[in-house]
A and B are shown apart, each in its own frame.
Chain A
Amino acid sequence: MKKILIVDDEPNILMTLEYAFKKKNYLVFIARDGQEALDLMHIEIPNLVILDIMMPEVDGYAALHAMKENPLLRNCKVIFLSAKNQESDIEKGLLLGADAYVTKPFSIKKLLEKVENLLVD
């Protein structure tokens, strides 16, 4: 079973994603900010992380940066999921090493497809 970590500070968004991914038979972990996510990843290395950017304390960029520093986490797939939808934001996210960038509001169906594709490779 593929492990997915969903990181977002909005409980309602978290709830829908958790439900949707569990339904597709992923092992789902959730975290409410970057720090919580990093702590979790040290216990359970996920196959893919869905990462919000604007979060209190450790934000998405910082979390991704920390992951890239850690050899164990470096190869996890990462999808940024953010309301920041400017081209420059997307570019910045991808340059940091994210595998995909999905803007909010998003279609769950498409997000699921993207995750599936990323995990097939």
Chain B
Amino acid sequence: MNSITLLIILVLYLGFLFAIAQWAEKKSNNKWTNNAYIYTLSLAVYCTTWTYYGSIGVAANSGVNYLAIYLGPVMVIPTWILILKKIIRISRVNKISGIADFISLRYGNDRFLGALVTVICVVGILPYIALQLKAISETFHIVTQTADTIILKDTTTYVAIALALFTSYYGTRYVDASEKRKGIVMAIAVESFLKLVFFLTIGIFVTFFAFDGFQDIFNQASLLENFSEKNSIGDFSQAINWFLLCILSLFAIFILPRQFHVSIIENNREKHIKTAIWLFPLYLLLFNLFVYPIAWGGNILFEGNPVNADMYSLYIAQLFEQQWLVLLVFLGGFSAAISMIVVSTIALSTMLSNNLLIPYGFIGKLQSDKQEKNSNRIVRSRKIGIFSLIIVAYFIFRYFALDYSLVSIGLISFVIIAQLAPSFFGALFWKRGSAKGAIAGIIVGFLICFYTLLVPYAIGISTLENHFISDGLFGIEILKPFQLVGLDYLEPVPHALFWSLLANFFIYYGVSISFKGNYRERNYAEMYVDIDKYISNHENAFIWKGTAYKADIEKILNRFLGEERTTRALRIFNVKYNIDNDTTMADARLIKFSENLLTGHIGTASAKILIGSVAKEDQISLPEVLRILEESKENILLNKKLTETSNELQKLSIQLKEANETLLKKDKQKDDFLDTVTHELRTPITAIRASTELLYDDDEIPEDIKKQFLQNIITESDRLNRLIDQILDLEKFETGKQKIYLSENQITKTFEKVINPLKQLLNNKSIQVNTHFEIEDFKLLYDEERIIQVFTNLLSNAIKFCSGNHAKIDIYFYDKVEYIEIAVSNFGKPIPEDDLLTIFDKFYQSNNQNIKKPIGSGLGLAICKKIIEAHHGKIWAENSNATVTLKFTLPKRY
């Protein structure tokens, strides 16, 4: 494949990733971009070209050793659910934008510590970036089958420049570095997915097409020289080497700037961790599945024809003349490289600007009152940072790092970064750790690395035979860089790790407990270690005494956030802590809040410097801080209790309110009931009074009318009496005084007792009654007198409302196995849907308005309902085809 074709493919591939990033940026809260799978895949930025190519080299040359780098993470990942969550919370509330911020803030927001961490990271990671560029370059040359030439003629130089430009443009879209970069994360996730797929493709190809499966490779490989030697775990000292490598990678998964960036800064939801803890190990497992077959397949295929074992995957594809496979493998490696480069340089440039550049001088350049100007300057400094990091890394690769395998450079990086481990984990779990301890530990640890790794490797590059390595510094035996103090069974990397971390750890511990830290350290220690206590109002945990004017602070915020964001942020702050808008003085909470707002833009140290420039702080002694912390702890406890109590009170008050409402409703019902009762009572009285008055005053009333009036008086008196009976009945049911006397009866007999006396009346009104018995004649338990009352009410109701020329009432008796159902229906106007249930209320009133006349006696159906319910039955009404039906049930077994 020629260079031009490959370049075009690369441009297309980058364009595709760019489009994905753009799309994700637009849909930043979409379920496609903001989910646990994208998060987990982005964590796979861990697998760089070192994994993609380097593991194969290690496996080919020294068997299973490559596994240690993946076992470490797999061992520690289950603890993520606690540790990672804690780090995420701390970083979120403090607006932390990188590991330098994270460590330095904990140790009293120490400017020097932040800068030191930054330097360590840059020194550790730059060669690692160089390694990626080296892989891109080498593979590019293998694919195009060209040799690398002088720097300006080499195509890969331009690939590096293009990559630098792209990353510096895309990685710095936000001034606030703690802001999420959904586009980048999405692109990284897609790359992680593709590199895995491509790697699996070549793995399957080698295993099943080039060979006949795993067994075949193993059989052929076992015939090779050195096979068993390379594939044994070895003796005890080998095991210790292994163990140390596991420890190394275990630290790396937390502390590597790119891992910190994707797992902490870019974490959108804590719950995504839950998916990551099983999916990420699975990803690593899948990635390692074919490393061994490819490596030993390569060893078999290229026996006696040595090629760089790191690149077996490409060579094998080329050997079988599979151009498409060569291209896929190359693109997978390219993905692995650029995702590492992009994330690492973003993380490093943020640290460079926020923890080194701005706090050490550049801050003076950010004095403009215009927010845009300041923001532009910050962003520009980061752009330059990213660009130069990549370019410098490219030079390192071109001039220094050509001789070593991918893995060895990667491991050196890991060891350097691991120097941050004691102060990093100390920050999470140990309140006594101090800035002095952290700084001393890191420096000593780094110096040991320098002596035991960097210097020998640098000397090794010049390939001169050297007495320094073989005899030790000044010929002193115990100073041999690879065998310090005579420790001679460790390989260089575990050896360096062992000594540097040992010293680092004890110095960190020793200095921390020997020297008093300052109060700010103690304050942040509290906020880090006990983060869960302060998660919702961490500003409260910040201790600060002094004088500061709100207006001054606002002015500074304006300079970096712009007026709109500042005003909005302060409004939220005021609401959160219930602070009057007109307050002129700033308190500790506002100081912390403002520092946080600035942190994302300029880093923790500069934020402190800037706020400190307008806030006159009084010194507080350490004991006082401890006392305040103790108090605030108590306060927080007290607060918690208060909140609980107030929640309880609130619950109670809601209950009271509900009870009150129920009472009011009942009261209203009672009023309505009384209203209706009085109306119902007054109506017959009115009729009686009117008739009586006329009879009394008027002597000339014709005889028949006089009779009619007297009849009125009798009917209305009866009605009055009936009404009073019903009211009393209902009252008895409601207060529970009404007893049900059950006895065995036949329902049909009971019904006859009701219908027979009514026959005359029905005849007179020419209403036809049909009875349908679809029921065996068996005995039921019920209170006959009450059921008679129900039948009477339902029938009189039906009689009253049946209409039409052929007035007709149907009564049905059904056997429903568990119970019997009785229906009384009549032709007539349907009951409005809304009222189907309410007609069984006492004095049913349509539409809740008490102006409409109640239907029927008003109380009849209410009484029926009470009776049926007392028998554990149901009663309801239905409309169908101009027929109104009232139904009730009686259970067979009581």
Interface string of B664-697 (1 = CB under 8 A from A): 0000000000010011001101111111011001
Taking CB atoms, residues of chain B closer than 8 Å to A109 are 693, 697
Interface string of A79-121 (1 = CB under 8 A from B): 0000110000000000000000000111111000000000000
Task: Tell which of A16, A53, A61, A104 touches B694, judged by Cβ atoms closer than 8 Å.
Answer: A16
B680 vs chain A, min Cβ distance (A):
8
- 9 more A-B residue pairs beyond the given contacts A16-B694, A104-B683, A104-B686, with a C-beta to C-beta distance below 8 A: A13-B683, A16-B691, A16-B693, A54-B679, A54-B853, A56-B855, A83-B678, A83-B679, A104-B682
By CB atoms of chain A within 10 A, which of B679, B705, B851 has the most?
B851
A57 to B682, CA, bound (A): 21
B292 vs chain A, min Cβ distance (A):
91
Taking CB atoms, residues of chain B closer than 8 Å to A15 are 708-709, 712
A42 to B851, CA, bound (A): 24
Closest 5 CB pairs of A and B: A16-B690, A12-B687, A83-B682, A104-B686, A105-B686
Q: Flag the segment in A17-25, A43-51, A68-76 that touches B.
A: A17-25
Nearest A residue to B716, CB-CB: A12
A7 vs chain B, min Cβ distance (A):
12
Say whether B852 contacts A56, CB under 8 Å: yes
Taking CB atoms, residues of chain B closer than 8 Å to A23 are 698
Taking CB atoms, residues of chain B closer than 8 Å to A83 are 678-679, 682-683, 686
Say whether B853 contacts A105, CB under 8 Å: no
B717 vs chain A, min Cβ distance (A):
11
Taking CB atoms, residues of chain A closer than 8 Å to B687 are 10, 12-13, 16
Identify 29 residue pairs between A and B in the complex whose beta-carbon atoms are under 8 Å apart, listed by A's number. Answer: A12-B687, A12-B715, A15-B709, A16-B687, A16-B693, A16-B694, A16-B709, A17-B690, A19-B694, A19-B701, A19-B705, A53-B851, A54-B679, A55-B852, A56-B853, A56-B855, A57-B852, A59-B851, A83-B678, A83-B679, A83-B682, A83-B683, A84-B675, A104-B686, A105-B685, A105-B689, A106-B686, A108-B694, A108-B697
Say whether B852 contacts A108, CB under 8 Å: no
Taking CB atoms, residues of chain A closer than 8 Å to B709 are 15-16
Taking CB atoms, residues of chain A closer than 8 Å to B852 are 54-57, 59
A116 vs chain B, min Cβ distance (A):
16
Say whether A12 contacts B679, CB under 8 Å: no
A19 to B708, CA, bound (A): 11
B210 vs chain A, min Cβ distance (A):
93
Taking CB atoms, residues of chain A closer than 8 Å to B698 are 23
Taking CB atoms, residues of chain A closer than 8 Å to B850 are 54
Say whether A105 contacts B690, CB under 8 Å: yes
Taking CB atoms, residues of chain A closer than 8 Å to B683 are 10, 13, 83, 104
B136 vs chain A, min Cβ distance (A):
88
Taking CB atoms, residues of chain A closer than 8 Å to B693 are 16, 107-109
Say whether B691 contacts A12, CB under 8 Å: yes
Number of residues of chain A lying within 8 A (CB) of chain B: 26
Taking CB atoms, residues of chain A closer than 8 Å to B690 are 12-13, 16-17, 20, 105-106, 108
Number of residues of chain B lying within 8 A (CB) of chain A: 28
A52 to B683, CA, bound (A): 11
Nearest B residue to A20, CB-CB: B694
Tell me whether chain B's interface is mostly helix, strand or loop, or mixed.
Answer: helix
Task: Tell which of B679, B686, B691 touches A84, judged by Cβ atoms closer than 8 Å.
Answer: B679
Nearest B residue to A54, CB-CB: B853
Taking CB atoms, residues of chain A closer than 8 Å to B855 are 56
Give chain A interface residues in 1-39, CB to chain B under 8 Å.
9-10, 12-13, 15-17, 19-20, 23
Interface string of B78-107 (1 = CB under 8 A from A): 000000000000000000000000000000
Taking CB atoms, residues of chain B closer than 8 Å to A13 are 683, 686-687, 690
A17 to B709, CA, bound (A): 11
A34 to B630, CA, bound (A): 79
A106 to B716, CA, bound (A): 16
Nearest B residue to A59, CB-CB: B851
B844 vs chain A, min Cβ distance (A):
12
Taking CB atoms, residues of chain B closer than 8 Å to A16 are 687, 690-691, 693-694, 709, 712
Say whether B712 contacts A12, CB under 8 Å: yes
Nearest A residue to B697, CB-CB: A109
Nearest B residue to A61, CB-CB: B851
By CB atoms of chain B within 10 A, which of A13, A16, A60, A84 has the most?
A16
A59 to B688, CA, bound (A): 23
Taking CB atoms, residues of chain A closer than 8 Å to B697 are 108-109
B18 vs chain A, min Cβ distance (A):
72
Nearest A residue to B719, CB-CB: A12
By CB atoms of chain B within 10 A, which of A9, A12, A60, A83 has the most?
A12
Give chain B interface residues in 821-854, CB to chain A under 8 Å.
850-853
Taking CB atoms, residues of chain A closer than 8 Å to B694 are 16, 19-20, 108
Nearest B residue to A81, CB-CB: B686
B503 vs chain A, min Cβ distance (A):
92
Nearest B residue to A107, CB-CB: B693
A105 to B690, CA, bound (A): 8
A60 to B691, CA, bound (A): 23
A38 vs chain B, min Cβ distance (A):
16
Taking CB atoms, residues of chain B closer than 8 Å to A20 are 690, 694
Taking CB atoms, residues of chain B closer than 8 Å to A55 are 852-853
A20 vs chain B, min Cβ distance (A):
6
Give chain B interface residues in 701-727, CB to chain A under 8 Å.
701, 705, 708-709, 712, 715-716
A73 to B682, CA, bound (A): 30
A108 to B709, CA, bound (A): 14
A59 to B854, CA, bound (A): 12
A15 to B687, CA, bound (A): 9
A107 to B850, CA, bound (A): 25
Give chain B interface residues in 698-756, CB to chain A under 8 Å.
698, 701, 705, 708-709, 712, 715-716
Taking CB atoms, residues of chain A closer than 8 Å to B851 are 53-54, 59-61
By CB atoms of chain A within 10 A, which of B682, B686, B689, B709 has the most?
B686
Taking CB atoms, residues of chain A closer than 8 Å to B691 are 12, 16
Nearest A residue to B712, CB-CB: A12
A61 vs chain B, min Cβ distance (A):
6
A53 to B852, CA, bound (A): 8
A63 vs chain B, min Cβ distance (A):
11
B566 vs chain A, min Cβ distance (A):
57
A58 to B701, CA, bound (A): 34
Taking CB atoms, residues of chain A closer than 8 Å to B689 are 105-107
A55 vs chain B, min Cβ distance (A):
5
A17 to B690, CA, bound (A): 8
A19 to B705, CA, bound (A): 9
Taking CB atoms, residues of chain A closer than 8 Å to B678 are 83
A59 to B852, CA, bound (A): 6
A60 to B851, CA, bound (A): 8
A55 to B854, CA, bound (A): 8
A55 to B682, CA, bound (A): 14
A114 to B692, CA, bound (A): 20
A9 to B694, CA, bound (A): 20
A115 vs chain B, min Cβ distance (A):
15
